[in-house]
């Protein structure tokens, strides 16, 4: 009987939760999906395919979050536009081959997203350096596209850290920046939110380290996904 009463109380408490924000915007790679190792391997594979210098893991991890053209320009600044296009094609080929094996979400992501959706007081969106085709492919593989009210990709707007994709998401969802929050694992995520005065949460399990993320003054540094979801529902800091 006590156990039943406790379970009922817990369900009622969860049902009464209200998110701090009307719109919660997530980065994808390194924040929701554990994809950094695959991105690194595919970029290195693309370089080998073309006979280019193969860069180390840390150098490639640093550009995760940027749009692909911007990432390639950062990694190989001395190549021509035509050579950049060749690397983009090779990278896409490598990624499609590797994508036959699904990538995992980080621990707590599926349960946390379900909790936010069950709450109903906020909407969810994605702002990612992936391409539209790449994001749609993941949505199809994981049947998770219905989680999100809107999404923006780097090939259809400006790459991070420019805030255009956030501005477009705010306009589409009719939510002011003060009532939205950006969640990501890179300095690029944090800086595009800071540029328009939007609150931000940095997750420390992704590609940029804690010290680098701290410079962007996030509201929270979260070591796991469950922690950030708890904070979104907390009544006070």
Instruction: Please say whether the beta carbons of 54 and 65 come within 8 A.
Output: no
Of 157, 207, 166, whose CA–CA distance to 186 is shortest? 207
Q: Give Cβ neighbours of residue 10 (< 8 Å, ≥ 6 apart).
A: none
| Distances from the Cα of 165 to the Cα of 27, 35, 39, 206, angstroms | 11, 21, 22, 21
Which position among 4, 27, 99, 199 bears the catalytic label?
A: 27
- Assess contact for 60 and 44: CB atoms under 8 A: yes
Q: Which among 4, 29, 34, 209 is annotated as catalytic? A: 29
Distances (CA, A) of 29 to 15, 81, 105, 115, 230: 30, 26, 9, 21, 21
Q: Assess whether 27 carries a catalytic annotation.
A: yes
Report residue 5 CA to chain centroid gap.
Answer: 38
Selection from 68, 64, 136, 142 nearest residue 101 by Cα: 142
What is the chain's length? Answer: 237
Q: Looking at the annotation, which residues are catalytic?
A: 27, 29
């Amino acid at each position: 009987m006590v156990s039943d009463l406790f379970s009922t109380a817990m369900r009622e408490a969860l049902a009464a939760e209200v998110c701090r924000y009307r719109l919660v915007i997530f980065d994808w790679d390194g924040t929701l999906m554990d994809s950094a190792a695959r991105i690194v391997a595919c970029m290195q594979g693309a370089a080998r395919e073309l006979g280019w210098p193969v860069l180390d893991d840390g150098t490639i991890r640093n550009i995760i979050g940027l749009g692909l053209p911007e990432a390639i320009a950062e990694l190989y600044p001395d190549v021509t536009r035509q050579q950049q296009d060749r690397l983009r094609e090779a990278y896409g080929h490598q990624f499609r081959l590797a994508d036959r094996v699904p990538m995992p979400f980080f621990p707590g992501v599926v349960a946390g997203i379900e909790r936010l959706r069950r709450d109903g007081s906020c909407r969810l969106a994605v702002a990612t350096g992936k391409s539209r085709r790449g994001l749609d492919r993941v949505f199809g593989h994981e049947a998770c596209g219905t989680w999100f009210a809107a999404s923006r990709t780097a090939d259809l707007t400006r790459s991070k850290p420019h805030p255009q994709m956030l501005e477009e998401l705010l306009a589409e969802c009719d939510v002011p920046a003060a009532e939205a929050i950006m969640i990501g694992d890179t300095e690029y995520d944090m800086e595009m939110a800071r540029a328009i005065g939007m609150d931000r949460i940095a997750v420390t399990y992704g590609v940029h380290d804690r010290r680098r993320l701290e410079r962007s003054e996030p509201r929270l540094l979260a070591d796991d996904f469950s922690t950030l979801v708890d904070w979104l529902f907390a009544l006070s800091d």
